[in-house]
Amino acid sequence: MNVLKRNNITVKGKGQQPMLFAHGYGCDQNMWRHITPAFEEDYRIILFDHIGFGNSDTATYTKEHYSSLQAYAADILEICQELGLQDVIFVGHSVSAMIGVLAAIKEPERFSKLVLISPSPSFINDGDYVGGFTREAIEGLLESLEGDYLGWANTIAPVIMGNSDRPELSQELAGSFCKSHEGIARDFAHLTFLSDHRKDLPLVKTEALILQCSDDAIAPLSVGEYTHQHIQGSRLMVLQATGHCPNLSAPEETIAAMKSFL
């Protein structure tokens, strides 16, 4: 399978250093449209869609292969290899922040910086670790997804997005969920919400920025602080923005934070 076709890769921008943007669960590369124009003058922008989302090619998808986030990290590395990318600035949102972490651990020489937006190494509370959800709550969430994906998408989108005073944002996110390949989206939801990559954080050697929203129902402040504490030398910036998707709800603040880091 041609990697460029598989992941619907888009390349633009006038600069030389690559910035690789990876979207979160149920989204596609269009979710970066408010962010990337601010970087096109100075960087080479690479956008793509994870398998099952956007205009990716799902022909080679198997549940067996994509049985962990490591498989999606391998896709990231294949994209880098195909395009000859080095000195990469990786920008990942939500679950893709962890996918980028895994890719950078595997090939640290390929990445210069990580920008992790609303990351969560684990969504499930465990002892002193507050991930935001009990295991029972996550299992209930996944059970409701299995029963009625479209209904689940319309119910969960406002929770993820926050910003109830701007319903159009939740409507866009729900619409994106509903356009996804339903079977793959179900599988990916299990990986997203049940994976635990806390032990991987100390293995990161790449300079990292953690962007945490001030009020996020999906990844609370405790998660951002935990991630910061366990990635050596990382920088934590808490945005005034609320919700889980500041790339959509607060692009100007997100851009400013990224530029100050870069």
Domain boundaries, the chain: 3-121+197-261
Nearest to 241 by CA among 230, 226, 252: 252
Query: How far apart (Å, rounded) are the C-alpha atoms in residues 251 and 247?
Result: 5
Is 170 part of the annotated catalytic residue set?
no
**Tokens matching residue 222:** 């405790």
Q: Which of 75, 187, 200, 216 does the annotation list as catalytic?
A: 216
Is 94 part of the annotated catalytic residue set?
yes
pLDDT of residue 200: 98
Please report, to the nearest 10 degrees, the dihedral formed by the alpha carbons of residues 221, 227, 230, 236 taken in order: -70
**Helix (H), strand (E) at residue 246:** helix 246-249
User: What is the distance of C-alpha 221 from the center of its chain?
Assistant: 17
In tens, the pLDDT along 42-86 reads 999 999 999 999 999 999 899 999 999 999 999 999 999 999 999
Longest pairwise C-alpha distance within the chain? 48
Supply the DSSP string of 6-61, one letter for each residue. HTT-EEE-S-SSEEEEE--TT--GGGGTTTGGGTTTTSEEEE---TTSTT---TT-
For residues 115 and 109, the answer to whether their CB atoms sit within 8 Å is no
Q: Characterize the bridge pairing of strands 18-22 and 111-117.
A: unpaired
> Per-10-residue mean pLDDT for the chain, 262 residues long?
90 97 95 97 98 92 96 97 97 98 98 98 96 95 88 88 88 85 92 96 98 95 97 97 95 98 96
pLDDT of residue 1: 59
Nearest to 120 by CA among 212, 19, 205, 34: 212
Q: Which of 56, 94, 180, 249 does the annotation list as catalytic?
A: 94
Query: How far apart (Å, rounded) are the C-alpha atoms in residues 240 and 60?
Result: 41
SS3 content of the chain, % helix, strand, coil (to 5): 45, 20, 35
Query: How far apart (Å, rounded) are the C-alpha atoms in residues 70 and 75?
Result: 9
Please state, as a whole number, how many other Cβ atoms lie within 10 Å of the Cβ of residue 2: 9
Count how many Cα atoms sit within 13 Å of the Cα of residue 71 in the half-sphere of its side chain.
16
Is 187 part of the annotated catalytic residue set?
no
Q: What is the pTM of this model?
A: 0.95
The CATH T-level fold of domain 3-121+197-261 is: Rossmann fold (3.40.50)
- Cα separation of the two ends of the chain: 34
Q: Which of 23, 50, 244, 249 does the annotation list as catalytic?
A: 244
**Helix (H), strand (E) at residue 237:** strand 235-242
Please report, to the nearest 10 degrees, the dihedral formed by the alpha carbons of residues 212, 213, 215, 221 taken in order: 10
pLDDT of residue 163: 86
pLDDT of residue 238: 97
